Chain A
Amino acid sequence: MAMQAEDIERLIKQRFPDATVSIDDLAGDGDHYAATVVSEAFLGKTRVEQHQMVYEALKGNIGGALHALALTTRAPS
């Protein structure tokens, strides 16, 4: 069961209301996406912590419905 880009964006925005989110479907199969998330919530967090926050927002879909999400996160500059 693949995921749609809108589902990913909705879950991320629920967790990070201020975030700007851009999502690219890398393979057109609903399984390989690249996402960039910019949010104040990342301020002072390590990259690992930032990515863990996004994975938590995606409620366990990572590694299951969503095989791969190439993730880039940063706080607004």
Chain B
Amino acid sequence: MTSQEDIQDWIGKQVAGNDVVLFMKGTRETPQCGFSMQVAQMLNHLGVDFKDINVLEDMGVRDGIKAYSNWPTIPQLYVKGEFVGGCDIVREMFQAGELQGLLDAKGIAHNAQTLTA
């Protein structure tokens, strides 16, 4: 990919064009980094359909996504166009049931039964 503008434009299209997008190192089947693997596993555990984008395939995207979200690390999870967080935040949300709540709020199918008292 060429100019920074093209990259930011391309990233914007991926984020807007897919309900759930995970910018990660490697792919959902073969993650190349423990943090990326953890987020992919959580999404798989919840049965969420997501688009995985392997930033290792294009240095421009790898750096561009950090500028796009003003977030310095990979992985980065987006739901309905909004940046949710990296591995720490997604794990914290998952453990607190907030990730499931966010998916419900955004109308995204997943298989976690909402915890009832």
Q: Which residues of A contact B (CB under 8 A)?
A: 47-48, 51-52, 55, 60, 62-63, 68, 70-72
Contact = CB atoms under 8 A, between A and B. Distances in A.
Contact of A72 (B84, B88, B93): B88
Contact of A48 (B35, B66, B72, B85): B85
Given A51-B85, A60-B72, A62-B73, 5 more contacts: A47-B89, A51-B88, A55-B72, A63-B66, A63-B72
A69 B99 CA distance: 21
B73 A48 contact: no
A70 B89 CA distance: 9
B83 A68 contact: no
B3 interface: no
A52 B70 contact: yes
A51 B86 CA distance: 10
A77 to B, nearest CB: 15
Interface string B67-100: 0001111000000000111111100110000000
Contacts of A51: 71, 85-86, 88-89
Contacts of A60: 72
Contacts of B72: 55, 60, 62-63
